[in-house]
Amino acid sequence: MITTLAWRPFLDPINLHDWWYLLLFPLALGISLTYRAVRQTSMDGYPRAVLSLTGQIIVGISALGVASYIVIIVLVPMLTPMPQ
Partner 1 sequence: MPSSPRPALDPIAGLLAIVLPGAGHLYRGEPKRALGIAAGVLGLFFGGILIGGIDVIDSKEDRLWFAGQALVGPVAIVVDQVYQNAIKVDGQLPEPTPGETPNATRSIGKVNEIGTLYATIAGMLNLIVILDAFLPPRRLREDDRRVV
What is the binding site for partner 1 (CB under 8 A)?
5, 8-17, 20, 23, 26-27, 30-43, 46, 50
* Residue closer to partner 1, measured from CB, 40 or 74: 40
> DSSP secondary structure string, 1-68?
----PPP-TTTS--S-GGGGGGGHHHHHHHHHHHHHHHH-S-GGGHHHHHHHHHHHHHHHHHHHHHHH
Least separation in angstroms between residue 47's CB and partner 1 is 10
Shortest separation between residue 46's beta carbon and partner 1, angstroms = 6
SS3 81: coil
Which C-beta is closer to partner 1: that of 39 or that of 84? 39
Report, in Å, the least distance between residue 11 CB and partner 1. 4
